[in-house]
Amino acid sequence: MGASNKPLFSIMGDSISTYAGCNPEGYDVFYEGERKAATGVCSVSDTWWARIIDLLGGRLLSNASFSGSMVEGAGFPAGDSQERVEALGGNGLAPDTIVVFMGINDYGWGGAKAQAAAGARAVPAQSRREESERRVAGRAEKGAIEGFAKAYSSMLSRIRERYPEADVWCCTLCPGRVAGKNVPTFAWKLRGVPLESYNDAIRSAAAEHGCALVDFAAYGLDYDAIDGTHPTKAGMKQLAAMAVGSMASQRGFASREAALLEDAYKGFSLRSRNWCEKNDCIDCAYAKATGNAWYLVCENEEGSGF
């Protein structure tokens, strides 16, 4: 198939889906400079999204991912903003397939108000606070998951209205594991709202808007991540294997899912496990960081004390 005949893919994501030179001008990018070498993601072909586009025989139209962005927010760069949705098209073309992989920052902050109060880089301009008004993020505020669910649904509504012919895929959130660790490291209830509640909201919104689902969480596998969130080269390959397997099986064409997963996880033992019974990670001695420079990492490698 000639390049001009290949289906056009666009990506809506956060830092996990950025790469130097691949996102719109002015967008914040994680995978650039020294981070490329640190993660081993040294080429765009190493990214999870470039891998799935290649494996599914497509070509990239636009990667509208913005590092640090949430779905919820009062405007750009939130995923639920018309500017982000418009960026999924390009050169007078509309995407044939849109893949949405967002929400981990919503989970990490516990709501748009917390992100704004912390003065994070990806806060919409209209929500920015003065230095004197800023505060450290703590437990998720009441209504955090409802706010996320409403914003995710609104984002899909915008996408559907703007690109009515596109095949839209929504990805659930997947636990990362700190590279080199033999036990799970993910913080499952960082601010008191379980990760699975965010995934349930994604599943519900996808069903409501007639979108297909890439259910990363259903695989029960972690992916390899340099800091517990951002995939290494191996982690990118693992995410791609799960995504392609899910997409191909639902569209009725061969994907070699088992072979892809076996290859991606060869040499890794990354079965997910949530062994903590605490209500949240705030003030926990095992939490790597829960403030404004948070990590989704539990450092209790033995699971003792739970």
Instruction: Please give the pLDDT value at position 239.
Output: 98
Instruction: Please give the pLDDT value at position 135.
Output: 87
User: Of 6-15, 26-35, 200-209, 255-264, which range is least confident?
Assistant: 255-264
Is residue 151 predicted with pLDDT exceeding 70? yes
What are 114's two structure tokens? 């917390």
Integer CA distances (angstroms), 260 to 95, 123, 271, 290, in order: 26, 37, 16, 35
**For the chain, first and last CA: distance in Å?**
55
- Per the prediction, the chain carries an average pLDDT of 94
For the stretch 118-140, pLDDT in tens is: 888 888 887 776 655 778 999 99
Is residue 168 predicted with pLDDT exceeding 60? yes
Q: What is the mean pLDDT of residues 41-58?
A: 97
Instruction: Please give the pLDDT value at position 306.
Output: 39
Instruction: Please give the pLDDT value at position 104.
Output: 98
Identify the helix (H) or strand (E) that includes residue 78. none
What are 238's two structure tokens? 């693992």
| Number of other CB atoms surrounding residue 30 within 10 Å | 22
Query: What percent of the chain has pLDDT above 90?
Result: 85
For the stretch 3-39, pLDDT in tens is: 678 999 999 999 999 999 999 999 999 999 999 999 9
pTM: 0.95
- Looking at residue 15, what DSSP letter applies? G
Query: What percent of the chain has pLDDT above 70?
Result: 95
Instruction: Please give the pLDDT value at position 5.
Output: 86
Most distant CA pair in the chain: distance in Å? 59
Concatenated DSSP letters for 241-270? HHHHHHHHHHHTS---HHHHHHHHTTT---
Instruction: Please give the pLDDT value at position 187.
Output: 97
For the stretch 218-239, pLDDT in tens is: 999 999 999 999 999 999 999 9
Sign of CA dihedral 157, 162, 166, 168: negative
What are 232's two structure tokens? 């290494």
Residue 200 Cα to chain centre, angstroms: 15
CB 58 within 8 A of CB 49: no
Q: What is the mean pLDDT of residues 94-111?
A: 98
Is residue 2 predicted with pLDDT exceeding 60? no
Residue 292 Ramachandran class (φ > 0 left, ψ -120 to 50 alpha, else beta): alpha
Residue 20 Cα to chain centre, angstroms: 17
Total residues found in the chain within this entry: 306
Instruction: Please give the pLDDT value at position 125.
Output: 80
- Categorize the per-residue pLDDT at 303 as very low, low, confident or very high, splitting at 50, 70 and 90: low
CB 129 within 8 A of CB 39: no
Integer CA distances (angstroms), 185 to 225, 269, 288, 301, in order: 10, 13, 10, 7
Q: What is the mean pLDDT of residues 142-160?
A: 98
d(CA 176, CA 195): 12
Q: Which domains does the chain have, with CATH numbers?
A: 3-264 (3.40.50.1110)
For the stretch 239-254, pLDDT in tens is: 999 999 999 888 877 6
d(CA 103, CA 10): 17
Instruction: Please give the pLDDT value at position 145.
Output: 98
